[in-house]
């Protein structure tokens, strides 16, 4: 039994609840939820599993849209600015979750709320205005249909306060395009799981927040001593210099190994891109790096990794915005074989303006490009567009069609799995998806990536445990001893990374400042010290890693089991990557070996305490975590291994 004490600091103290169907607003204390988890996503997951009946679908009014700022958000903890957005996943039907940084989360805390839970649906477009204790549901007909940039401008003028922070959707979310994002500060996208689609379905255009309150910590002087140590570490770490140039610049070196291990070309036809294309795209003088005008940081971040971009030539000259990321290179360039730098930046800006998840766009549309190449669809299906690899203008037209559901965009907007059923003709083989969500991730070469993406409870994304080898970056090796392409020992690293990400999303610490990059930034030791001094708890590292880092993942897995028919089969990489090898480059011939992958998966389940054969959660594991009630729910549906 963990004797951790009661929370005495860091939390704002209340959860804001809003029922859009009945126009009701109320609050409750965070305390009772914070007894079981540490905050942020943990609280969202707990509320979802307790309150959403298994029969509820994402489009039902009973579905919840949950925003959770982590428990350390609003303090000066390095990188503590993150918000988890959880709801039913529009792709898998199970748990959906997306995570975003910026300034909105801290503002929610300063307004006095740790989490914001929205239920019901509005009949007409509305937005929420939260100014401390003043919470209003307001008409949004004047901003419905506007893109995210326009909406920000109009709301700032309407409200007349430059310090408001806004989370909003674009036309894609309004049109219930499945891969819609919730955009924060016009730049940062909570992209996965279709969270923007759910927000649009609730007719909720924006959530405006302004807070004037304070966040207290349990032991201020002691807390600041820990914080000071953490800032100094981040300042001294040599990798900080690389991060501050914005990490996408690593790709401006055509020899950088990321080009060999983590890139997928033409929707998965190869994992190797031509050297001359790399150079054209990432040339420091004429390519994407030349458009970087500066770098920005999220709230209380000592590292700073977010580039501000402005297109400097060509037909898109003058378009600009914040937050260009590595995924755009992997997704919008390589997946379409596009090496035109201006078009790649423009396509990314467009996804932010229209409120689309860039990964969904990249994985879904590159699939359509391949179907066109294979002759499975023709010009008649594409409204006359020639979806040829490398054709950037067509990509930009297709992004608009998707967001506005025009022509073929309407077919794709309901999700690629649905579209594949309608198209037929073996089109589903070429669709790279995991648990229903299109995925841009590499599988064939980095095996830790393949395992983490395939087993992610929120379907096909890498942040729940992907690794690049135990000693890949930085001075602190991961548990186990393995290289990027090894199957052996890989599960140890993936589970460890999944656990630390759970903690980071509970605390609201960016995983770049945490354990992701492997650089010597914040460690588990720092997390414990921050929690104990800030929240006034008495936890050990073991309690943190064996209990609090595990409970959230189990809540999500149980939610998936109760709401879907997911099984071991759904934790296996897409068929294409098991059948077709890499065609060129140093990893030519690499593909997923099913036997070796399954051995890795066995070990993964065992390490989490789940049944090795079926992947089902066990009674022992859940009861140890104090989740007896969840075990009973699962047992009733025959979804529990009774050991």
Partner 1 sequence: MKIVRNGNLCYACKTCQLACSFHYTKTFWPERSSITVSRNPQDGTIKWHMDATCDKCMGEEGLLCVKYCTYGALQILNNNANEQEVKEYD
Only one residue has tokens 């994002």, namely: 181
Q: Which residues of 317-330 are buried (b: 16+ CB within 10 A; e: fewer)?
A: eebebbbbbebbbb
410 vs 402: CA distance, rounded Å: 7
Q: Which two three-digit tokens encode residue 446? A: 């980095």
234 vs 510: CA distance, rounded Å: 13
Q: Which is nearer to partner 1, 321 or 448 (CB)?
A: 321
Q: Which is nearer to partner 1, 316 or 429 (CB)?
A: 316
346 binds partner 1 (CB under 8 A): no
299 binds partner 1 (CB under 8 A): yes
296 binds partner 1 (CB under 8 A): yes
- β-pair type (126-131, 204-210): parallel
User: Of the ranges 83-91, 213-221, 441-449, 557-565, which one interacts with partner 1 (CB under 8 A)?
Assistant: 213-221
User: Of the ranges 45-53, 296-304, 536-544, 570-578, which one interacts with partner 1 (CB under 8 A)?
Assistant: 296-304
Report in angstroms how near the CB of residue 399 gets to partner 1 at its nearest.
Answer: 19
Report in angstroms how near the CB of residue 121 gets to partner 1 at its nearest.
Answer: 30
Which has the closest alpha carbon to 573: 596, 551, 556, 553? Answer: 596
Report in angstroms how near the CB of residue 510 gets to partner 1 at its nearest.
Answer: 12
Member of 35, 214, 315, 538 binding partner 1 (CB under 8 A): 214
Q: Which two three-digit tokens encode residue 295? A: 């770098």
8 binds partner 1 (CB under 8 A): no
30 binds partner 1 (CB under 8 A): no
Contact 39, 67 (CB under 8 A): no
Q: What CA dihedral angle connects 413, 418, 423 and 426, to 10 degrees?
A: 130
162 binds partner 1 (CB under 8 A): yes
Member of 54, 294, 314, 475 binding partner 1 (CB under 8 A): 294
**3-state secondary structure (DSSP) of residue 137:** strand
Member of 138, 320, 547, 578 binding partner 1 (CB under 8 A): 320
Member of 301, 376, 411, 519 binding partner 1 (CB under 8 A): 301
608 vs 456: CA distance, rounded Å: 13
Q: Is 582 exposed, middle or buried (0-12, 13-18, 19+ CB in 10 A)?
A: buried
Member of 212, 229, 588, 636 binding partner 1 (CB under 8 A): 212
**3-state secondary structure (DSSP) of residue 538:** coil
Report in angstroms how near the CB of residue 232 gets to partner 1 at its nearest.
Answer: 9
Which neighbouring-strand residues pair with 134?
131
Which has the closest alpha carbon to 206: 67, 359, 372, 35? Answer: 67
DSSP code per residue over 487-523:
-TTHHHHHHHHHHHHHHHHHHTB-TTTTTSS-SSS--
* First-to-final CA distance of the chain: 21
User: Of the ranges 230-238, 457-465, 577-585, 631-639, which one interacts with partner 1 (CB under 8 A)?
Assistant: 230-238
Q: Which is nearer to partner 1, 234 or 394 (CB)?
A: 234
224 binds partner 1 (CB under 8 A): yes
CB atoms closer than 10 angstroms to residue 443: 26
Q: Which is nearer to partner 1, 217 or 451 (CB)?
A: 217
Q: Which is nearer to partner 1, 79 or 96 (CB)?
A: 79
449 binds partner 1 (CB under 8 A): no
Q: Which is nearer to partner 1, 162 or 380 (CB)?
A: 162
Span 61-120, contacts to partner 1 by CB under 8 A: 74-76, 103, 110
245 vs 285: CA distance, rounded Å: 15
Q: Which is nearer to partner 1, 323 or 355 (CB)?
A: 323
Member of 59, 144, 149, 256 binding partner 1 (CB under 8 A): 149
11 binds partner 1 (CB under 8 A): no
Compute φ and ψ for 380, nearest 5 degrees.
-65, -35
217 binds partner 1 (CB under 8 A): yes
508 binds partner 1 (CB under 8 A): no
Evaluate the CA torsion angle 151, 153, 154, 160 in order and state its sign: positive
* Residue 129 CB contacts under 8 Å (≥ 6 apart), including other chains: 135, 136, 138, 159, 208
Member of 57, 225, 229, 235 binding partner 1 (CB under 8 A): 235
Q: Which is nearer to partner 1, 168 or 264 (CB)?
A: 168
Q: Which is nearer to partner 1, 144 or 308 (CB)?
A: 308
Count residues contacting partner 1 (CB under 8 A)? 45
Which has the closest alpha carbon to 293: 271, 332, 321? Answer: 321
Contact 65, 85 (CB under 8 A): yes
Member of 60, 310, 546, 602 binding partner 1 (CB under 8 A): 310
238 binds partner 1 (CB under 8 A): no
480 binds partner 1 (CB under 8 A): no
Member of 322, 486, 570, 603 binding partner 1 (CB under 8 A): 322
Report in angstroms how near the CB of residue 549 gets to partner 1 at its nearest.
Answer: 25
Report in angstroms how near the CB of residue 365 gets to partner 1 at its nearest.
Answer: 26
143 vs 489: CA distance, rounded Å: 52
Report in angstroms how near the CB of residue 301 gets to partner 1 at its nearest.
Answer: 5
Member of 114, 152, 337, 340 binding partner 1 (CB under 8 A): 152
532 binds partner 1 (CB under 8 A): no
Print the binding letters for residues 239-278 with partner 1: x by CB under 8 A, - otherwise.
-x---x----------------------------------
- β-pair type (113-119, 14-19): parallel
Residue 131's alpha-carbon distances to 142, 209, 338, 402, in angstroms, are 21, 6, 45, 35
328 binds partner 1 (CB under 8 A): no
Instruction: Find the helix or strand (DSSP H, E) in which 549 lies.
Output: helix 549-563
154 binds partner 1 (CB under 8 A): no
Residue 29's alpha-carbon distances to 12, 112, 506, in angstroms, are 9, 11, 17
**3-state secondary structure (DSSP) of residue 575:** helix
Q: Which two three-digit tokens encode residue 62? A: 């009973």
Binding site for partner 1 (CB under 8 A): 74-76, 103, 110, 149, 152-153, 162-163, 185-187, 212-217, 220, 224, 228, 231, 234-235, 240, 244, 293-304, 308, 310, 320-323
């Amino acid at each position: 039994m963990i004797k951790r004490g009661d929370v005495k600091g860091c939390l704002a103290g209340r959860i804001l609840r809003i029922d859009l169907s009945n126009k009701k607003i109320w609050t409750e204390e965070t305390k009772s939820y914070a007894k079981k988890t540490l905050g942020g996503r943990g609280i969202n997951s707990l509320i979802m599993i307790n309150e959403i009946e298994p029969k509820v679908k994402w489009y039902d009014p009973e579905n919840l849209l949950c925003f959770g700022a982590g428990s350390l958000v609003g303090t000066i903890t390095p990188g503590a600015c993150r918000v988890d957005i959880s709801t039913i996943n529009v792709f898998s039907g199970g748990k959906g979750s997306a995570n975003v940084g910026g300034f909105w989360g801290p503002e929610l805390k300063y307004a006095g709320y740790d989490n914001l839970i929205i239920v019901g649906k509005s009949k007409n477009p509305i937005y929420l205005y939260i100014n401390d204790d003043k919470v209003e549901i307001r008409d949004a007909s004047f901003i419905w249909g506007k893109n995210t940039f326009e909406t920000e401008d109009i709301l700032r003028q309407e409200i007349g306060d430059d310090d408001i922070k806004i989370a909003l959707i674009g036309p894609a979310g309004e049109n219930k395009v499945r891969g819609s994002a919730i955009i924060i500060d016009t730049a940062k996208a909570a992209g996965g799981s279709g969270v923007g689609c759910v927000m649009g379905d609730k007719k909720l255009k924006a959530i405006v927040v302004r807070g004037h309150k304070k966040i207290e910590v349990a032991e201020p002087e002691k807390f600041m001593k820990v914080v000071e140590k953490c800032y100094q570490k981040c300042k001294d770490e040599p990798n900080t210099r690389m991060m501050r140039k914005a990490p996408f610049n690593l790709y401006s070196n055509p020899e950088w190994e990321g080009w060999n291990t983590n890139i997928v070309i033409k929707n998965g036809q190869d994992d190797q891109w031509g050297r001359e294309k790399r150079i054209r795209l990432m040339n420091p003088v004429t390519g994407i790096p030349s458009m970087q005008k500066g770098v920005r940081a999220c709230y209380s971040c000592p590292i700073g990794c977010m580039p501000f971009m402005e297109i400097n030539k060509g037909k898109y000259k003058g378009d600009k915005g914040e937050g260009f990321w590595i995924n755009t290179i992997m997704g919008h360039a390589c997946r379409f074989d596009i090496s035109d730098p201006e078009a790649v930046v423009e396509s990314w800006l467009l996804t932010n303006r229209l409120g689309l998840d860039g990964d969904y766009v990249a994985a879904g549309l590159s699939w359509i490009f391949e179907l066109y190449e294979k002759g499975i669809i023709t010009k008649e299906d594409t409204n006359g567009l020639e979806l040829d690899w490398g054709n950037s203008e067509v990509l930009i037209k297709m992004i608009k069609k998707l967001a506005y559901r025009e022509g073929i965009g309407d077919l794709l907007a309901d999700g690629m799995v649905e579209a594949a059923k309608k198209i037929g003709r073996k089109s589903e083989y070429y669709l790279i998806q995991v648990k229903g969500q299109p995925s841009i991730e590499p599988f064939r070469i980095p095996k830790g990536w393949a395992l983490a993406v395939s087993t992610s409870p929120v379907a096909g994304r890498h942040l729940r445990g992907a690794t690049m080898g135990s000693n890949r970056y930085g001075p602190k090796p991961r548990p186990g001893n393995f290289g990027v392409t090894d199957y052996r020992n890989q599960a140890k690293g993936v589970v460890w990374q999944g656990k630390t990400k759970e903690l980071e999303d509970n605390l609201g610490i960016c995983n770049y400042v945490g354990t992701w990059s492997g650089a010597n930034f914040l460690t588990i030791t720092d997390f414990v010290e921050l929690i104990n001094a800030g929240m006034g708890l008495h936890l050990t590292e073991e309690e943190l890693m064996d209990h609090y880092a595990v409970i959230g993942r189990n809540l999500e897995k149980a939610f998936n089991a109760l709401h879907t028919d997911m099984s071991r089969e759904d934790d296996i990489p897409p068929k294409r990557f098991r059948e077709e090898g890499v065609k060129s480059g140093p990893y030519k011939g690499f593909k997923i070996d099913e036997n070796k992958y399954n051995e890795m998966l066995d070990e993964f389940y065992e390490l989490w305490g789940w049944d090795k054969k079926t992947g089902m959660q066990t009674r022992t594991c859940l009861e140890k975590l104090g989740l007896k009630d969840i075990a009973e729910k699962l047992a009733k549906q025959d979804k529990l291994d009774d050991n």
